[in-house]
């Protein structure tokens, strides 16, 4: 049995549609202006981004939750992006396909804001 770590990602409707097109198994490639993929380490932080940023900019925000092989995640140090609980991982865009290969199970939507 693989030990996993739960991660969250706040997304707008466009990114959510691309995740759905993957069968809920992968994150889409980053755009040229997005050199890093940022999953976050707690649901509260993801909720704040989805509710306060995605809704304002995209009309809707979603919080997704997914599991990743913990041993694989060891290569990405936890980054504090603000306050004590504002924690995220920085996955270089060129490593996203490999990151996707280490997702265990499906990506699921756990919250929706409009």
What does DSSP say about strands 36-37 and 91-92: parallel, antiparallel, or unpaired?
Answer: antiparallel
53-111 pLDDT tens trace: 999 999 999 999 999 999 999 999 999 988 888 999 999 999 999 999 999 999 999 99
Of all helices (H) and strands (E), which one includes residue 109?
strand 103-113
- pLDDT score of 94: 97
42: helix, coil or strand?
coil
Which domains are seen in the chain, by residue range? 4-113 (3.20.170)
pTM: 0.95
């Amino acid at each position: 049995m693989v030990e996993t770590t739960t991660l969250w990602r706040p997304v707008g409707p466009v990114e959510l549609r691309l995740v759905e097109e993957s069968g809920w198994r992968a994150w889409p490639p980053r755009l040229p202006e997005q050199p890093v993929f940022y999953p976050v380490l707690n649901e509260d932080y993801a909720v704040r981004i989805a509710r306060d940023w995605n809704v304002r900019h995209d009309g809707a925000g979603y919080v997704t939750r997914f599991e990743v092989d913990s041993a694989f995640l060891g290569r990405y140090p936890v980054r504090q992006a603000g306050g004590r609980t504002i924690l995220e991982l920085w996955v270089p865009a060129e490593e996203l396909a490999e990151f996707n290969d280490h997702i265990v199970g499906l990506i699921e939507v756990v919250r929706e804001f409009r």
